[in-house]
Amino acid sequence: MSADAAIKTSDLSKTFGSIRAVDRLNLAVNKGELYGLVGPDGAGKSTTMRMLAAIMDPTSGDGWIFGDSLVRDAGKISEKVGYMSQRFGLYEDLTVMENILFYADIFAVSSKERPARIERLLGFSNLTPFKNRLAGKLSGGMKQKLGLACALIHTPEVLILDEPTNGVDPVSRRDFWRILYDLLKDGVTIFVSTAYLDEAERCTRIGLMHRGRILVEDVPKKIRSSFDRTMLELWPEHPRFASDAVQHIPGVFSVSLYGDRLHVALERHAVRASVLDAVKKAGVEIKDVREILPSLEDVFISLVET
């Protein structure tokens, strides 16, 4: 691993009683990457992130943020890392400005640097007009941006975001990603977790996590094209009848309805003909059929289920 590794872990593990929440995790994230950790609830994502932010000690193994050890140099880690928890870590009974000042105190941002930094953070998060509003009175999207501003007050080199867009609407989510891209241009390394796979596609690299381990790790498109099943997208006249007709054909791995379309995963390409046959026999007209790249969700579910 080059000295450029922003985040590196070696057999990083955390157990709670008899549960192995994180199981010998080996990660390497380069400087300037936007790395997405994807997985279901309970996969170990939050535990991993807490250890990387040095707010939770590993049970065994270790990790390094630009060479500083999570176990031995925890003090240095908090200077290099900005961390935002799922609840954004805000004080709802403090105003926007008071929250930012609170974090500036925690991270000992000097009074000389404060005004310029605060102005910049309020500016990019579009929160300047709301600086005297109580955090508890902000919309979900604004809370999220304030949480991010607070995590950035000490200009960290690595930003760790735990499911930052939970419950935030699409327009605010897109704004949020724009801010992340700006940070990326400034050379910040971003490590983000999400349970939404369409969002994971926005990362430069992703790791699919399940039961404390990373099952597969790559660029999203490569993960999708490595799926060894053929995905057919049918656009039938009556999707639900068509779905009934193909469900039990040998070699059909799964059938999902997507509105007026049907996604059928085939174990072998040869099954394609019998699928189309079955739909026609059921008297359902097919308006269009094509082979598509599986979605990340398709890949993820097939990995977890096997």
Q: Which of 196, 216, 251, 282 binds another protein (CB under 8 A)?
A: 196
The H-assigned helical ranges of the chain are 45-52, 74-80, 96-106, 114-124, 140-151, 170-185, 197-200, 220-225, 239-246, 271-281, 296-305
Query: Which structure tokens are listed for 45?
Result: 């994502």
Q: Say how far residue 210 (Cα) sits from the centre of its chain.
A: 13
Q: Which of 17, 75, 129, 170 binds another protein (CB under 8 A)?
A: 170
Q: Which of 12, 22, 34, 246 binds another protein (CB under 8 A)?
A: 34
Dihedral angle of Cα 215, 189, 183, 210, to the nearest 10 degrees: 20
| Cβ nearer to another protein, comparing 129 with 259 | 259
Question: Closest approach of Cβ 2 to another protein, in Å?
Answer: 16
Question: Closest approach of Cβ 170 to another protein, in Å?
Answer: 6
| Cβ nearer to another protein, comparing 112 with 185 | 185
Sheet holding 205-210, edge to edge: 81-84, 158-162, 189-194, 34-38, 205-210, 213-218
What does the per-residue mask of binding to another protein show for 63-82, with x meaning CB under 8 A?
--------------------
Q: Which of 74, 184, 216, 282 binds another protein (CB under 8 A)?
A: 184
DSSP labels, 110-149: -TTTHHHHHHHHHHHTT-GGGTTSBGGGS-HHHHHHHHHH
Question: Closest approach of Cβ 238 to another protein, in Å?
Answer: 11
Show the CA angle centred on residue 81, arms to residues 69 and 105, nearest 5°: 120
Using rule CB under 8 A, residue 41 touches another protein: yes
Stretch that binds another protein, among 1-9, 53-61, 73-81, 214-222 (CB under 8 A): 214-222
Query: Which structure tokens are listed for 113?
Result: 């640097």
What does the per-residue mask of binding to another protein show for 112-151, with x meaning CB under 8 A?
---------------------------xxx----------
Using rule CB under 8 A, residue 178 touches another protein: yes
Q: Which of 261, 280, 282, 286 binds another protein (CB under 8 A)?
A: 261
